């Protein structure tokens, strides 16, 4: 978004993330986003008379882990409130949530590259039914109703959409790597509400909320559009109305959803069916595994001289990172492993529209064998690329393919020395002309050796022999 000298945009976020637990937060219903619609529902989820909520302690433990990762102050007492509103996506007429003094955690931070974003608080609550529209009809899937949610509220610390995206990427990584949420925005398991105001004075403008954005791209475009929409309103001499809007992906614009409700309109009161209880012992016994923090993983890989571009790519895809770790635990060379996974293997998988999780165990095993051969210098890079293509297409093992393709690695020093000397003698004029640029001679001669041996010479041995033999010519 281009900077505007007249108007300053101020942005705050509310992020809802479903918690990775086997059961829902207040019932024993299965927490599943993939089951057939309305099959993971019981009488508690539907708010039938006479039913009582049953709190899932696994949700609490994951909330505590997140609070510790965000360096937050954790409330020693767990208590809940009722947020009263009537809508068909929440059949009992109120949402069990936390408000005010009952909020589970306050005062956290996430450090971006150039600034720190303050997190005001986060609280535990229950999700609502999933709504879909078809031919002007509303369909409701109550499988999502009652699923545990953590709602994270930031301070209005963002002034650029790029800061928002950087923050969301860091938060999403944290949620996934600590196994708090699967972070699947495309399934609405992680949703973002963006609060935007613009002003040409030191005071904040009127806040407009954009609900339920489910991709980084939508967040970015919604911020851009809403800034321009509010700017046009103010420049026309009118006032921006405080309201809740939604994002239309097809038209790429925000649309009116409803008037923004004030907190008092929700008639918050205490949840009397879940009595407050002290959780100090649970807090002390719930540990944050520091080695799982994305920033610590980043720092560890950086110390091993892995390029930042590769690290970012690994951290942005948890399944890719897990695959990388499983392979590198055997190879023990982060640069070799990452290059062959990110550059070579992903190229083939993307070409065939295959996800890393979908590769077979046999391909994984053969890929590992391939990397071991590369590391031992038993095959060169060119041969390895050919083998990888055949490994994916044929499902055969590496050794079988090496035999069938007639591949062999020439490692005999006497044989290679004879070839190098022959090439050096045939190119004396070129060598004398470039004797001040040995690196150019080396590249030229090694290329001729590989051509002479049809790519089967071991390049490392060739290089070492060249370094010794070239002294006889310059």
Walking along the chain (474 residues) 10 residues at a time, the average pLDDT comes out as 72 98 97 93 94 96 98 98 90 94 98 96 96 87 96 97 97 98 93 96 92 95 96 94 93 87 77 96 96 96 95 96 96 96 95 92 93 87 89 86 77 84 86 81 86 79 83 74
Q: What is the pLDDT of residues 39-50, one digit of tens each?
A: 999 999 999 999
- 462 phi/psi in degrees, rounded to 5: -60, -45
Beta strands in 142-267 (DSSP E): 148-154, 190-199, 208-213, 243-248, 253-259
Whether 420 and 445 have beta carbons less than 8 Å apart is answered as: yes
Q: What is the reported pLDDT for 449?
A: 86
What is the enclosing helix (H) or strand (E) of 325?
Answer: helix 318-331
Q: What is the reported pLDDT for 264?
A: 59
Pull the structure tokens for residue 420. Answer: 């190098």
Q: Report the 10 Å Cβ neighbour count for 153.
A: 18
Give every CB contact of residue 308 below 8 A, 6+ residues apart in sequence. Answer: 302
**Tokens 């879940």 label which residue?**
274
CA distance 269 to 182: 32
Task: Specify which residues 58 forms β-bridges with.
Answer: none
Q: Report the 10 Å Cβ neighbour count for 349.
A: 18
Q: What is the reported pLDDT for 135?
A: 85
CA distance 335 to 166: 26
């Amino acid at each position: 978004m281009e900077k505007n000298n007249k108007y300053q945009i101020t942005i705050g976020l509310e992020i809802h993330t479903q918690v990775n637990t086997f059961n829902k937060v207040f019932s024993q219903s299965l927490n599943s986003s993939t089951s057939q619609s309305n099959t993971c529902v019981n009488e508690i989820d539907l708010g039938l008379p006479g039913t009582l909520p049953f709190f899932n302690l696994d949700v609490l433990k994951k909330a505590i882990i997140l609070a510790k990762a965000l360096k937050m102050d954790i409330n020693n007492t767990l208590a809940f409130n009722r947020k009263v509103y009537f809508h068909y996506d929440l059949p009992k007429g109120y949402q069990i949530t936390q408000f005010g003094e009952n909020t589970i955690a306050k005062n956290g931070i996430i450090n971006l590259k150039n600034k720190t974003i303050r997190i005001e608080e986060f609280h535990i609550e229950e999700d609502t039914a999933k709504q879909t529209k078809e031919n002007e009809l509303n369909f409701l899937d109550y499988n999502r109703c009652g699923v545990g949610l953590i709602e994270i509220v930031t301070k209005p610390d963002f002034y650029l959409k790029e800061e928002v995206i950087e923050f969301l990427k860091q938060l999403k990584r944290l949620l996934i790597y600590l196994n708090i949420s699967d972070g699947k925005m495309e399934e609405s398991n992680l949703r973002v509400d963006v609060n935007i105001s613009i002003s040409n004075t030191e005071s904040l403008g009127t806040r407009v909320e954009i609900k339920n954005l489910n991709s980084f791209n939508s967040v970015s475009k919604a911020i851009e559009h809403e800034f321009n929409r509010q700017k046009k309103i103010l420049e026309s001499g009118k006032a921006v109305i405080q309201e809740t809007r939604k994002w239309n992906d097809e038209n790429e614009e925000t649309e009116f959803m409803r008037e923004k409700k004030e907190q008092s309109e929700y008639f918050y009161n205490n949840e009397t069916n879940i009595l407050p209880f002290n959780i100090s012992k649970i807090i002390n016994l719930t540990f944050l595994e520091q080695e799982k923090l994305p920033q610590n993983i980043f720092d560890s890989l950086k110390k091993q001289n892995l390029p930042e571009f590769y690290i970012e790519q690994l951290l942005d895809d948890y399944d890719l990172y897990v695959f990388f770790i499983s392979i590198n635990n055997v190879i023990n060379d982060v640069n070799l492993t990452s290059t062959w996974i990110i550059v070579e293997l992903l190229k083939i998988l993307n070409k065939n529209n295959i996800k890393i999780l979908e590769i077979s165990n046999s391909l994984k095993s053969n890929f590992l064998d391939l990397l071991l051969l590369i590391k031992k210098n038993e095959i060169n890079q060119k041969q390895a690329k050919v083998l990888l293509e055949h490994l994916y297409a044929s499902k055969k093992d590496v050794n079988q393919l090496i035999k069938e393709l007639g591949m062999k690695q020439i490692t005999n020093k006497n044989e290679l020395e004879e070839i190098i000397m022959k090439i050096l003698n045939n190119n004396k004029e070129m060598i004398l002309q470039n004797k001040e640029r040995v690196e150019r001679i080396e590249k030229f001669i090694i290329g001729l050796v590989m051509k002479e041996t049809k790519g089967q010479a071991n390049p490392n041995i060739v290089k070492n022999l060249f370094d010794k033999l070239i002294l006889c010519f310059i």
